[in-house]
Chains A and B, each alone.
Chain A
Amino acid sequence: MSENHSHKDIEQQVSEQQKEQEVQKSPSGLRIFWREILKDKLALISLIFFVLVSMIVFGISLILDLDEVVKIDPFAIHQPPSDEFLLGTDKGGRDVFGQLIIGTRNSLAIGFLVTLISGAFGIIFGVVSGYFGGHIDNFLMRIVDFFMVLPFIMIIIVFVTIVPRYSVWTFSLIMSAFIWMGIARLIRSKALQERELDYAQASRTLGSSHTSIIFKQVLPNITSLVVVTMTLNLAANIGIESGLSFLGFGLPEDTPSLGTLMSYATNPTTLEERWWIWAPAAALILVLMLAVRNVGEALKRAADARQRRA
């Protein structure tokens, strides 16, 4: 660094150096994930597809008028696909294509929301259980066991019908309350291993508090497991949400989901003759779930060094 440099230049150089250092640190986390996805063509295509669909859906729904889409038009009931209605209309004369866009957007958004809520809760529950072990672990795991055997579809449906002021948020909370156990179990078994490792023991000896060890040391070390599980959960949650909406106990009526479109197929005539109403939604749910799962499986391989593709 010469003294001729202005102050700004120096600052820039320093920050660039820091960047370089960060890059060289170790090929951890994101980088390994990214490398694995690039190597796995199917996962790469899936990721691109998923991002594209999300962008299209969120983009169009910005300009799409929701009220226009859900407006009932008695003169346009059950029309086949045409130039005006790309995928025809439903029993209320509403444009199916518009509903498909908004439904996909809602299904994706709820999928993310539920995955985040249930994930956050499950992770904290699991890491606390595994980190402390012993009686605390025993007690917390009995709670998990209890939730695991509940007939959760039925119980979610009951909650949905009795909860006052039913909305997207309450639905997400109800759903999250009954699906956090899987991730909690996984994280717990990983945390049980982590707490025996030298770094956690050393940190404890040095006087770090439990909270600090859990959140600043154990959690960052199990990030890859968290990312993998959350991705796979996202796929599952899109399925559960659309299933509940299909039965009529998912998202509220003013927020159609992909499952809402599928539910029109409970009408035998619609199922038999008007496939354009439900089949695109069915295909989208399937392909989206598969795409997310492909990405998740690639991440899973990346997180486990033994499974990585050479």
Chain B
Amino acid sequence: MWKFIVRRLLITSPQIIFLSLLVFVLASFMPGDALTGAIGPDVKAERLAELREELGFNDPWYIQYKDWVAGILQGSLGESFQYKMDVEDLIWQRVINTFWLSLVSVIFIYAIGLPLGILSGRYNDTLLDQLITGYTYIGFATPIFIFGLVALWIFGYILGWFPTGGSVDPGVESGSIEYILSKLQHLLLPGLSIALIGTVSTVQYLRSEIIDTKQKDFILTARAKGASERRVYNRHIFRNSILPIAAFFGYEIINLINGTIFIEQIFSYPGMGQLFLDSIVIRDYTVVTALVLLTGIGAIVGALLSDIILSLVDPRIRIK
């Protein structure tokens, strides 16, 4: 067990190192540096050149990389050119917003995916199953940005059931009950949009797992012993099929990141994805670099978690 986790951790560290190298190389190709924001009429070019020398911008790349990594390890992600503030402070609020959006999406993903998958697998090849399979077939081929746009158009604009943008109504006092309700209301439609597309793979996976498990010998044994149909499904089949789904949770993070970029843009929800796109447009590259690095690490850690959970629940993976 520990052997597997240690091995898996050993694979993770080069991944993070390569990610940081990739981001560092990308950052060095971006125009401007930490002093670009300081350029003004009262700052002389010679002074800037001196500053660059002092701050080590003329050092060879490996020294710059070392300094950059050291800075990050001390919790400094640099300063935004645009907002003249530390990147950490700038992205913190956005990270929280994206966290809530992701949390709501994940809850919906499982709240929708598990029942549909179970029904579809239990009653396979019935009309119900065909309806669910039809939904997953179309959902799988639908790009999330089209689904989000159409959802916003229909439920936000035409029917007016949901707010069409932002993360909270303006003027609501922070911390009050209305504030929380308003936040939730702003999260529902974007969260549902991500979930209805994102849950498709869960439904498909659970369905085929259940159909597979249904024919296994131990299920026959359970039935032969006289276990009720309910017991067979709840205790024997579902338990065996649900474990891999739980383990894929970490991999969901990558999909969530990709999904939130589109959904935050469409619903003008002030999260990390929107900040990323805004920063790219206004060329605020320290923010861009920080966001790519953070989400990359998030995705790597997510995959790590998944593999560890998977090895806990499925001993076969540990063997090699």
Chain A contacts to B: CB under 8 angstroms: 142, 145-146, 148-155, 157-159, 161-162, 235, 239-240, 242-243, 246-249, 262, 265-266, 268, 271-272, 275, 278, 282, 285-286, 289-290, 293
Contact = CB atoms under 8 A, between A and B. Distances in A.
Nearest to A265: B149
Contacts of A235: 141
Interface in B243-267: 254, 257-258, 261-262, 265-266
Interface in B130-173: 138, 140-146, 149-150, 152-153, 157-158, 164-165
Given A149-B299, A243-B262, A278-B149, A154 B292 contact: yes
Contacts of A157: 276-277, 280
15 contacts: A145-B15, A149-B15, A149-B300, A151-B258, A157-B280, A162-B29, A240-B143, A247-B261, A247-B277, A249-B280, A268-B164, A272-B153, A278-B149, A286-B143, A286-B146
A156 to B, nearest CB: 10
Given A148-B303, A153-B261, 11 more contacts: A145-B303, A146-B14, A149-B300, A155-B26, A239-B143, A243-B262, A247-B145, A247-B277, A272-B153, A282-B149, A285-B146
Nearest to A278: B149
A271 B141 contact: no
Contacts of A271: 149, 152-153, 157
B124 interface: no
A151 B262 contact: no
B143 A242 contact: yes
Contact of B265 (A247, A278, A289): A247
Nearest to A281: B146
Q: Would you call the interface of chain B mostly helix, strand, loop, or mixed?
A: helix
Contact of A293 (B14, B141, B262): B141
Given A150-B296, A151-B296, A158 B288 contact: yes
Contact of A266 (B30, B144, B266): B266
B295 A243 contact: no
B289 to A, nearest CB: 8
A194 B14 CA distance: 31
A289 B144 CA distance: 13
Nearest to B28: A162
Contacts of B254: 149, 151
Nearest to A259: B145
A151 B146 contact: no
A243 B143 contact: yes
B309 interface: no
B160 to A, nearest CB: 11
Contacts, number: 110
B61 interface: no
A264 to B, nearest CB: 11
B265 A155 contact: no
B278 to A, nearest CB: 11
B242 interface: no
Contacts of A150: 19, 22, 296, 299
B257 A286 contact: no
A285 B254 CA distance: 24
Interface string B1-30: 000000000010011001100100010011
Interface string B35-79: 000000000000000000000000000000000000000000000
A168 B226 CA distance: 65
Given A243-B145, A271-B153, A285-B146, A153 B258 contact: yes
Nearest to B149: A265
Nearest to A163: B29
B19 A154 contact: no
A286 B265 contact: no
B265 A266 contact: yes
B291 interface: yes
Closest 3 pairs (CB-CB, A-B): A239-B143, A272-B157, A151-B295
Contacts of B292: 151, 154-155, 158
A154 B261 contact: yes
A249 B261 CA distance: 12
A243 B261 CA distance: 10
A290 B30 contact: no
A240 B141 CA distance: 11
Nearest to B300: A149
Contacts of B266: 266
Contact of B258 (A152, A265, A282): A152
A154 B138 contact: no
Contact of A154 (B150, B265, B276): B276
B205 to A, nearest CB: 16
A150 B26 CA distance: 14
B149 to A, nearest CB: 5
Given A247-B265, A275-B153, A159 B146 contact: no
Given A150-B296, A150-B299, A247-B277, A290 B141 contact: yes
Contacts of A248: 277, 281
Nearest to A268: B164
A166 to B, nearest CB: 13
Contacts of B281: 248
Contacts of A293: 140-141
B143 A289 contact: yes
A108 to B, nearest CB: 15
